[in-house]
């Protein structure tokens, strides 16, 4: 009789939390009840029928009882599985103490500015002398322009007077019988 009962059982596997679980049950509803879950893990694709030999043998030994093992472990399924061996956390490296940088030496006395001030003063004097020369040249240029303008006026007046005298003298010469 026990042999026929074992044939009707199927072995279901699911991952619940940190454990892979298997249960031998006649149908999915009883497997879900054995696991103590309300959602349908089969519909979600998180539970399935398994044919793994070690899982089937362990589940058939305890029908309707969920057996567990740590996820990813190859240990046998059992009622109270051991936690997997977890490697020790890597040890932190000891930090090296870096010596503090040497403080900068205090600034020395400020350099003497007298030579720089003399050079700046000499440059300013040269620039001022050029400005004065340009002003003098411009003044002389305007004087020459005024003298040139006066000379041109005088020349125009003298020329006009000379042309009048020439015209009168020529006319008198032609009247006297000369040929022009």
Task: Give the percent of the chain with pLDDT over 70.
Answer: 93
Q: What is the Cα–Cα distance from 64 to 34, expressed in whole angstroms?
A: 6
What are the φ/ψ torsions at residue 166 (nearest 5 degrees)? -60, -45
More confident: 163 or 4:
163
More confident: 15 or 101:
15
What are 22-32's pLDDT values in tens digits? Answer: 999 999 999 99
Q: What is the mean pLDDT of the chain?
A: 89
What is the SS3 assignment for 21? strand
Task: Give the percent of the chain with pLDDT over 90.
Answer: 61
Q: Can you give the pLDDT at residue 31?
A: 94
Assess whether pLDDT exceeds 50 at residue 85: yes
């Amino acid at each position: 009789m026990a042999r026929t009962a074992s044939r009707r059982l199927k072995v279901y596997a699911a991952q619940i939390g940190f454990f892979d679980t298997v249960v031998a049950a006649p149908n999915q509803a009883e497997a879900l009840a054995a696991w103590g879950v309300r959602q349908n893990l089969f519909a979600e694709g998180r539970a399935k029928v398994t044919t793994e030999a070690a899982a089937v043998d362990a589940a058939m030994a305890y029908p309707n009882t969920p057996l567990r093992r740590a996820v990813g472990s190859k240990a046998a399924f059992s009622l109270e599985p051991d936690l997997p061996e977890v490697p020790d956390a890597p040890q932190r490296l000891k930090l090296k103490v870096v010596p503090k940088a040497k403080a900068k030496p205090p600034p020395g006395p400020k350099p003497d500015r007298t030579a720089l001030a003399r050079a700046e003063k000499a440059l300013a004097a040269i620039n001022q002398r050029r400005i004065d020369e340009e002003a003098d040249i411009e003044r002389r240029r305007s004087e020459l322009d005024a003298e040139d303008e006066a000379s041109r006026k005088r020349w125009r007046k003298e020329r006009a007077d000379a042309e009048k005298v020439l015209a009168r003298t020529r006319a008198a010469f032609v009247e006297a019988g000369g040929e022009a």
